[in-house]
Amino acid sequence: MVGVPAGYSGQGFSLRGEKGRLVLPPDFRKAFADAGDERILCLTKHERWNCLMGFGLSRTASFEEQLQREEDRAARTNQEFDYDMRAQQLWGFTKLPFDASGRFVLPDHLAELGRLGEAVYFNGAGSYFTLWSPEELHAMPKGFETAQANCRQLETEAKGKRK
């Protein structure tokens, strides 16, 4: 059953643990529950950035409307729009189960697509959230300063706990 789309805000940081597991931040797990989403994490490559996007199944209810908006915008601005390609990008996500503690296994092919290593920074973005390698995030241009600062702080805290 797909509910009201979740709204993801806040940040989190996870070091890959035993068996390659990552942990969703508590605020994100709450957003899944608030939206009535199952514990199914949908992951895909971000269309422009070197990171992954995550969301719950409830977000798929808006995909057709999003496709229509993007097609209309392209027509208004005389830009090409490949409806089929964009539909594949939106609907081509991978479904991953996570447990009550937010643990999930990140498959190698997704880690490679998102350029993720042993450390992953999560950043809320409303209807979805991003998963970043700290190195990729720190290489981003102006406009990412807040996320970069949050990532540095959370990474320091996470690595301090592991010692």
Q: What is the DSSP string of the chain?
A: ---SPP-B-SEEEEE--GGGEEE--HHHHHHHHHTT--SEEEEEE-SSSSSEEEE-GGGGGGHHHHHHHHHHHHHHTT----HHHHHHHHH--EEEE--TT-EEE--HHHHHHTT--SEEEEEE-BS-EEEE-HHHHHTS-TT-HHHHHHHHHHHHHHHHHH-
pLDDT reported for residue 3: 52
> pLDDT > 90: what percent of the chain?
67
Q: Is residue 5 part of a domain?
A: no
Domain span including residue 62: 11-162
Q: Is residue 28 part of a domain?
A: yes
Q: Could you give the number of structural domains in the chain?
A: 1
Answer whether 106's CB lies under 8 Å from 115's CB. Answer: no
Q: Is residue 2 part of a domain?
A: no
**pTM listed for this prediction:** 0.86
CA 32 to chain centre: 13
Q: Is residue 37 part of a domain?
A: yes
Asked if the model's pLDDT at residue 161 lies above 80, the reply is: no
Summarised one tens digit per residue, pLDDT across range 12-29 is 999 998 788 999 999 999
